[in-house]
């Protein structure tokens, strides 16, 4: 059975991060996906992740074209991406963090990657940043982007997701349990293989964890994700769920229950600062807290 289509729309399209947002905080989900509000800031950690992913994608794209690069090239490329992507929407959430220190962390991550995993890697790249899509029940569609799809020297299909987080994940749904397995399940359909490996590579830890996804595992993960997406789609109540993630929430300047300690207030301060000209420049009709 083909699981392609119907066409994804903002209403029926459920990415992994959309479902994750709903279960982490329904109010945040409502702000972002139902009211269509834009996050008021982007964390510097997210900026780090984007710049690192850009470099990894470039390294493999270059290899596919027969061009190899060393650790210095990768570090230089990282700095270029870091600086090109920097803008006034990026917030340093941890007040005592210096952006230049995180830039060094990023340069180190890509340099170590080139000397380690990349130097040893004999696999072939099938696709980079591949868009995956799957029809779910209830007229919903799963969409996402797989960082890298490849084949081992022995021809085994794999999907790998790169992580720049400080800590290693676990097997829970919104850590390692769902995302890469879902991407692998989608890829099984397009590549027509019987099974694939789904992996997470943790750049700060120089380690990759793999799980095997065969037809049965793919069916289980799709059905589980469908249940979660349908729950989010049918929800009528969107309570706030204050906690450690509030400091990184792009709506913490308008959320009545935001819990943001002073030492993690960089995002909230930037959000307030950025919303001031708009708030002063109109008669309240632009107030995102009243938009519906």
Residues of this chain that interact with ligand SF4 (CB under 6 A) are 25, 27-28, 240-242, 245-246, 249, 251-252, 255, 257-258
CA angle 253, 254, 258 (to 5 degrees): 70
Residue 46 or 211: the one with the smaller Cβ distance to ligand SF4 is 46
- Bridge partners for 159 per DSSP: 149, 198
Least distance to ligand SF4, CB of residue 258, Å: 4
**Residue 196 contacts residue 188 (beta carbons within 8 Å):** yes
Residue 226 or 240: the one with the smaller Cβ distance to ligand SF4 is 240
Q: What is the DSSP string of 257-268?
A: T----GGG-HHH
Q: Give the number of other CB atoms < 10 A from CB of residue 225.
A: 24
Residue 25 or 222: the one with the smaller Cβ distance to ligand SF4 is 25
Least distance to ligand SF4, CB of residue 292, Å: 16
CA distance 93 to 77: 25
Least distance to ligand SF4, CB of residue 49, Å: 19
CA distance 83 to 71: 18
Least distance to ligand SF4, CB of residue 254, Å: 8
Residue 56 or 255: the one with the smaller Cβ distance to ligand SF4 is 255
CA distance 91 to 271: 9
CA distances in angstroms from 248 to 46, 140, 190, 204, 271, listed in the order given: 10, 28, 36, 20, 11
Least distance to ligand SF4, CB of residue 20, Å: 12
Residue 215 or 243: the one with the smaller Cβ distance to ligand SF4 is 243
CA distance 253 to 165: 25
Least distance to ligand SF4, CB of residue 27, Å: 4
**Residue 289 contacts residue 240 (beta carbons within 8 Å):** no
Residue 8 or 242: the one with the smaller Cβ distance to ligand SF4 is 242
Residue 92 or 264: the one with the smaller Cβ distance to ligand SF4 is 264
Least distance to ligand SF4, CB of residue 290, Å: 16
CA distances in angstroms from 49 to 9, 109, 196, listed in the order given: 26, 11, 25
**Residue 259 contacts residue 51 (beta carbons within 8 Å):** no
């Amino acid at each position: 059975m083909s699981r392609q289509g119907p066409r994804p729309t903002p209403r029926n399209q459920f990415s992994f991060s959309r479902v994750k947002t709903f279960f982490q905080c329904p109010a945040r989900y409502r702000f972002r996906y139902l009211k269509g509000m834009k996050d008021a800031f982007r964390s510097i950690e997210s900026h780090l992740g984007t710049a690192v992913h850009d470099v990894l994608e470039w390294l493999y794209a270059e290899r596919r074209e027969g061009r190899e690069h060393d650790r210095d090239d990768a570090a230089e490329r990282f700095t270029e991406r870091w600086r090109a992507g920097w803008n006034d929407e990026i917030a340093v959430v941890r007040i005592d963090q210096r952006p230049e220190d995180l830039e060094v962390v990023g340069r180190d991550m890509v340099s170590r990657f080139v000397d380690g995993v990349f130097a040893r890697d004999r696999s072939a790249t099938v696709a980079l940043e591949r868009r995956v899509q799957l029809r779910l029940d209830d007229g919903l569609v799963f969409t996402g982007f797989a960082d890298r799809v490849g084949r081992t020297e022995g021809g085994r299909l794999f999907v790998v997701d790169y992580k720049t987080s400080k800590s290693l994940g676990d097997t829970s749904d919104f850590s390692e349990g769902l995302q890469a397995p879902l991407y692998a399940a989608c890829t099984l359909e397009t590549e027509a293989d019987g099974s694939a490996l789904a992996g997470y590579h943790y750049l700060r830890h120089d380690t990759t964890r793999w799980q095997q996804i065969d037809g049965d595992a793919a069916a289980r993960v799709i059905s589980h994700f469908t249940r979660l997406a349908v729950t989010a789609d049918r929800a009528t109540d969107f309570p706030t769920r204050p906690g450690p993630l509030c400091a990184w929430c792009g709506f913490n300047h308008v959320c009545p229950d935001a819990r943001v300690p002073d030492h993690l207030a960089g995002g909230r301060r930037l959000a307030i600062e950025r919303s001031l000209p708009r708030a002063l420049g109109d008669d309240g009709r632009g107030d995102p807290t009243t938009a519906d």
